[in-house]
């Protein structure tokens, strides 16, 4: 706990473990599992047993609400294969089972409706010969993933895919949906002034760029009504030029606040905002942490044939000197603060939205793993609740820990090894320094056992 803090742990837990009431959803505490993608499912997007085990882990650990991983609303919108999708009614039974499992722990479940757009890392064999749909024909600046600007019929089709995804989530008995409007995926590609270069009504100023998302919000409301929770993950600031200062900056905080106001749609639109930052994924600010060089070099090879810039990146990551220089740039652009990195953005959204409609809530993502920091974020009215990804990968029962102590004994180190392993290995904590043992082999065995725990219990006994 901060030595100068006037609050004791009991004050903090009173805030953190208080209900959070959205317009049509109540969550038992202020702790949300942020979206964490992992390749747990069938190649064709049918959910698998490992994902059921995975989600249940967090519900058991006391989290109030789980926000799902990136859930594609169509095959064309995949980022990687083996992610459960919501592109068809035949996926409803799987999501119903997910809901049933986590509800047993009085935990809510929100599905993240998503579309990759051009940011399709390895989109599967079905997408091999098509460019990623986007607002633009320009490839992404990082990997050079090719893009094709969407026609108006394609825009209308994707709007409908989001609406049907929301209807399926409701039919599955889930507690709400989140639009993935952050971190460089299709909705960011429309919203961001750093990416959207359209000259029709879906481009230009912030109102034009937000038109596509507003159409999605309205189509979802048409399908699910007004008593089903709808939230939006959004970048407070895009920082599109963060690595390469010569490219366009993207959205400012002021533009984001205006877009959020527009998406309220006069009280008929979204119920909550989930504030992040960074116009790509990953980005130095998201997940804010390190760039582990060994893992970077090992796992980026899968990207080699995906984008026009990928071979150049691979050459940089494979060269010890260039890789260190890139890592230094990454760390410098991330900055020193990790826990609460997006709080100023969340505060600006909270203040502006609160003046219009006090029922709209704000969640903030980025580094949270201490009770005093979380309580202070809520107490200072920067946000109403926090979302956590890596700290929960490291300590699945973090809510239970925070009820008793200010933070976990073995914290998440923000090393980002989980992120890079995720491209080919099961999701889990890969920071060996967090595992005790008598030898390297002993610690390594414990780490792998923890990673493999997601496959227990197995499908067949
Ligand atoms: C392995 C991994 C997978 C992620 N997958 C998603 C995702 O599917 N959708 C999303 O919006 N964010 C995703 N994120 C970002 C997190 O939800 C979160 O916003 C970010 O990591 C910052 O929170 P943290 O510091 O608590 O990890 C992912 C992060 C990690 C580390
Ligand atoms: S590998 Fe473990 S310690 Fe490192 S960022 Fe991921 S969860 Fe945290």
Q: Tell me what pLDDT residue 1 has.
A: 57
By the 8 A CB rule, do 111 and 63 touch? no
Written as tens digits, the pLDDT of the chain (461 aa) is 556 678 999 999 999 999 999 999 999 999 999 999 888 999 999 999 999 999 999 999 999 999 999 999 999 999 999 999 999 999 999 999 999 999 999 999 999 999 999 999 888 888 888 899 999 999 999 999 999 999 999 999 999 999 999 999 999 999 999 999 999 999 999 999 999 999 999 999 999 999 999 999 999 999 999 999 999 999 999 999 999 999 999 999 999 999 999 999 999 999 999 999 999 999 999 999 999 987 787 788 888 888 999 999 999 999 999 999 999 999 999 999 999 999 999 999 999 999 999 999 999 999 999 999 999 999 999 999 999 999 999 999 999 999 999 999 999 999 999 999 988 899 999 999 999 999 999 999 999 999 999 999 998 86
Out of 32, 33, 36, mutate this one to test ligand 1's pocket (max ligand atoms within 8 Å of CB): namely 36
> Closest Cα to atom 10, ligand 1: which residue?
35
What are the pLDDT digits (tens) for 172-231?
Answer: 999 999 999 999 999 999 999 999 999 999 999 999 999 999 999 999 999 999 999 999
Find out whether the beta carbon of 416 lies less than 6 Å from any atom of ligand 2.
yes
Which of 412, 421, 427 should be mutated for ligand 2, with most atoms under 8 A from CB? Answer: 412
Structure tokens at 310: 């990928």
Rounded to 10 deg, the angle between the 92-103 and 152-171 helix axes is 50
Q: Is the CB of 50 under 6 A from ligand 1?
A: no
Which ligand places an atom closest to the C-alpha of 428?
2
Task: Give Cβ neighbours of residue 408 (< 8 Å, ≥ 6 apart).
Answer: 369, 391, 394, 395, 398, 401
CB 39 within 8 A of CB 83: yes
Give the single-character DSSP code of 172. T
Q: Which tokens belong to 318?
A: 């494979």
Ligand 2 closest atom vs CA 390: 7
Q: 429 in ligand 2 pocket by Cβ < 6 Å?
A: yes
CA of 460 to the centre of ligand 1 (A): 30
- Please name each of the domains of the chain with its CATH number: 5-288+335-411 (3.20.20.70)
Residues catalogued as catalytic: 185
Count of beta carbons in the 10 Å neighbourhood of residue 351: 13
CB 417 near ligand 2, within 6 Å: yes
| Ligand with the closest atom to the CA of 432 | 2
Q: What is the Å distance from ligand 2's center to 193 Cα?
A: 32
- 289 CA closest ligand 2 atom index: 5
Could you give the CA distance from residue 84 to residue 339 in angstroms, rounded to a whole number?
A: 30
Q: Check if 415 has its Cβ closer than 6 Å to any atom of ligand 2.
A: yes
Atom of ligand 2 nearest to the CA of 290: 5
- The pair of three-digit structure tokens given for residue 376, joined into one six-digit string: 């202070």
Q: Which atom of ligand 1 is nearest to the CA of 34?
A: 17
Q: What pLDDT score was predicted for residue 150?
A: 98
422 within ligand 1 shell (Cβ under 6 A): yes
Q: What is the pLDDT of residue 2?
A: 59
Please tell me the predicted confidence (pLDDT) of residue 122. 87
**Residues 271 and 229: beta-carbon distance below 8 Å:** yes
Which residue bears the tokens 């006037």?
A: 6
């Amino acid at each position: 706990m901060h030595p100068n803090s006037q609050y004791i742990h009991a004050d903090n837990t009173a805030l953190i473990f208080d209900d959070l009431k959205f317009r049509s959803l109540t969550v038992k505490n202020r702790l949300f599992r942020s979206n964490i993608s992992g390749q747990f499912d069938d190649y064709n997007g049918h959910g698998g047993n490992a994902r059921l085990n995975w989600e249940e882990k967090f519900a058991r650990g006391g989290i109030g609400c789980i926000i799902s991983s990136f859930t594609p609303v169509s095959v064309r919108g995949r980022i990687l294969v083996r992610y459960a999708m919501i592109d068809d009614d035949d996926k409803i039974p799987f999501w119903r089972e997910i809901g049933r499992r986590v509800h047993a722990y009085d935990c809510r479940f929100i599905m993240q409706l998503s579309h990759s757009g051009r940011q399709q890392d390895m989109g599967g064999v079905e997408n091999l010969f098509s460019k990623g749909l986007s607002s633009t024909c320009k490839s992404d600046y990082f990997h050079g993933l090719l893009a094709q600007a969407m026609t108006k019929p394609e825009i209308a089709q994707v709007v409908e895919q989001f609406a049907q995804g929301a209807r399926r989530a409701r039919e599955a008995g889930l507690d709400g949906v989140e639009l993935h409007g952050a971190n460089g995926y299709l909705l960011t590609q429309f919203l961001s002034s750093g990416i959207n270069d359209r000259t029709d009504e879906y481009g230009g100023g912030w109102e034009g760029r937000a038109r596509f998302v507003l159409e999605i919000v309205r189509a979802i409301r048409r399908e699910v009504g007004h008593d089903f929770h709808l939230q939006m993950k959004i970048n407070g600031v895009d920082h599109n030029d963060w690595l390469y200062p010569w490219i366009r900056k993207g959205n400012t905080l002021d533009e984001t606040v205006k877009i959020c106001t527009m998406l309220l749609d006069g009280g008929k639109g979204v119920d909550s905002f989930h504030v992040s930052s960074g116009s790509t994924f990953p980005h130095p600010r998201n997940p804010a942490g390190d760039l582990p060089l060994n893992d970077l070099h090992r796992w980026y090879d899968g990207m080699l044939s995906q984008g026009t810039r990928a071979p150049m990146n691979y050459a940089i990551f494979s060269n010890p000197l260039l890789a260190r220089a890139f890592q230094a740039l990454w760390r410098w652009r991330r900055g020193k603060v990790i826990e609460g990195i997006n709080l100023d953005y969340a505060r600006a959204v909270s203040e502006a939205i609160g003046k219009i409609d006090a029922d709209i809530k704000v969640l903030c993502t980025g580094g949270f793993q201490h009770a005093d920091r979380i309580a202070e974020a809520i107490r200072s009215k920067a946000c109403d609740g926090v979302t956590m990804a890596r700290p929960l990968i490291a300590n699945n029962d973090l809510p239970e820990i925070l009820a008793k102590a200010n933070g976990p004994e073995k914290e998440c180190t923000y090393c980002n090894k989980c992120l890079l392993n995720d491209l080919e290995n099961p999701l889990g904590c890969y920071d060996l320094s967090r595992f005790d043992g008598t030898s390297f082999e002993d610690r390594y065995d414990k780490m792998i056992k923890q990673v493999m725990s997601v496959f227990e219990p197995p499908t067949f006994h």
